[in-house]
């Protein structure tokens, strides 16, 4: 999966007792209704965030990871590739993705007169 947006926050490296390391960051999407998406990098991928600064446009490739612990379910977005994006290509990508309004104009009229 991929995500393009502006970096809002980059946290420090967290090191756990087992030697496991992770680093979290937040990307604000370039959509009509922007969303703040928290992602993480783990182990040797923590160095990917060394060259990323808040405010920069990035394209992030990530995996969706889920697990269960003590009856609770957790979902993590684990990034494995982070590329810098210049502002002009980010705007072009947002424009080419289109909006829901353009799709509504192409739908055929509904002939059903349903009560709900």
Amino acid 102: pLDDT: 47
Q: What is the rounded CA–CA span in Å between residue 86 and residue 89?
A: 6
Tell me the two tokens of residue 100: 């829901």
**103 alpha carbon, distance to own chain's centre:** 24
User: pLDDT tens-digit profile of 20-75?
Assistant: 999 999 999 999 999 999 999 999 999 999 999 999 999 999 999 999 999 999 99
What is the H or E stretch that residue 41 is in? strand 36-42
Query: Structural domains in the chain?
Result: 2-91 (2.40.50.140)
Amino acid 58: pLDDT: 96
Q: What is the pTM of this model?
A: 0.71
Distinct helix (H) and strand (E) counts, the chain: 2, 6
Tokens 């993480």 -> residue: 40
């Amino acid at each position: 999966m991929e995500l393009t947006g502006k970096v809002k926050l980059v946290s420090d490296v967290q090191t756990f007792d087992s030697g496991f390391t992770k680093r979290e960051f937040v990307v604000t999407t370039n959509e009509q209704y922007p969303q703040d998406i928290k992602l993480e990098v783990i182990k040797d991928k923590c160095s990917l965030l060394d060259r990323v600064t808040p405010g920069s446009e990035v394209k992030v490739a990530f995996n969706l990871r889920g697990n269960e612990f003590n009856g609770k379910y957790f979902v993590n977005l684990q990034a494995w590739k982070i590329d810098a994006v210049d502002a002009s290509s980010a705007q072009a990508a947002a424009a080419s993705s289109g909006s829901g309004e353009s799709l509504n104009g192409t739908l055929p009229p509904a002939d059903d007169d349903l009560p709900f």
